[in-house]
Amino acid sequence: MAWQAVFIDFLNPNATQYWSDMLDEFKDSADFDGIWLDMNEASSFCNGECPGFYNTPEETIPLKYVPGNHSLEDQLLPLLAKHYGGDQSIDFNYHSLYAYYQVKATYEYLAQSTKERPFILSRSSRSGLGVYGNHWLGDNYSNWQ
């Protein structure tokens, strides 16, 4: 079974209105004044090589340093996936901004609709996100061993 997903391109100037419309639909079925944005990083389980994206295996970004020899495209969008804004607007340059813009758009929606300071919990984060929401560290655990 193949799963297909679509990610809102928050660099598109129409994205915030679209996201607000989707939150309106959700709010009609389940009233809320805060939200947990789990799994809110644009990800993929194609390991960067989804069929039909690359024309040739050479279409990738040659990186000088790859921590732990772990591909930056492993379970993420391809580094060359294009966002709104032209040829330089590739995921390599904007990946860490995805959750930031999603949380910011959600904050603006909730602040307007509830007239209160929103509570937003985000799994994905970057510096500056704390202005609009809170960061959850994901499925982490510890033990005494």
Task: Show which residues are catalytic.
Answer: 38, 41
How far apart are the C-alpha atoms of 114 and 39, rounded to whole Å? 24
Query: 119 is written with which tokens?
Result: 């509570």
Helices (H), 13-62: 15-29
DSSP string across 119-144: EEEESS--TTGGGT-EE---S-----
For residue 67, the one-letter residue type is P
Output the CA–CA distances (angstroms, integers) from residue 23 to 2, 66, 144, in the order listed: 26, 38, 42
Sheet holding 34-37, edge to edge: 34-37, 119-122, 134-135
Determine contact, residues 45/139, Cβ cutoff 8 Å. no
